[in-house]
């Protein structure tokens, strides 16, 4: 797991310099691990109290953004803004068009 504290900011910081394909793969794996922690692991109740469910749901929103180029429903404006460094990096490397940044300006 990239963020053992279920920190979106920590996760974003760790993947923001990666390729689009790598970010999608890492995010999917992180969602799987957070959901396992939330619903299957021996200490699931503790993980839930520490924010594992919110973490997984927010990262699912990141996956939606990366796959479809639209703002996901259910992600708070504060959490959504945490995704910006990833999009900045992808635009800077030419993997996404600069129009992707408009999603962050409209909020």
10-residue mean pLDDT profile of the chain (107 residues): values are 93 98 98 93 89 96 97 96 98 96 82
Tokens describing residue 82? 């945490």
In the block, tokens 């635009």 appear at: 91
Give the Å distances, CA to CA, from 47 to 27, 69, 105. Answer: 18, 30, 34
According to the model, what pLDDT value does residue 40 have? Answer: 87
pTM of the entire structure?
0.93
According to the model, what pLDDT value does residue 106 have? Answer: 58
* 79/103 Cα distance (integer angstroms): 13
Q: Would you say 95 and 20 are in contact if contact means Cβ atoms under 8 Å apart?
A: yes
In terms of DSSP H, where are the helices of the chain? Answer: 8-15, 20-39, 44-49, 52-68, 77-82, 84-92, 102-105
* 103/107 Cα distance (integer angstroms): 7
Q: Would you say 82 and 75 are in contact if contact means Cβ atoms under 8 Å apart?
A: no
């Amino acid at each position: 797991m990239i963020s053992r504290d279920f920190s979106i900011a920590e996760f974003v910081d760790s993947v923001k310099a990666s390729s689009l394909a790598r970010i999608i793969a890492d995010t999917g794996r992180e969602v799987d691990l957070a959901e396992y922690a939330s619903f299957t692991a021996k200490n699931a109740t503790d993980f839930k109290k520490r924010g594992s469910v919110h973490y997984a749901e927010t990262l699912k929103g990141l996956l939606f953004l990366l796959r479809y180029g639209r703002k996901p429903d259910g992600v708070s404006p504060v959490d959504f803004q945490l995704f910006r460094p990833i999009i900045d990096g992808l635009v800077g490397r030419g993997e996404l068009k600069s129009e992707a940044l408009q999603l962050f300006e409209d909020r």
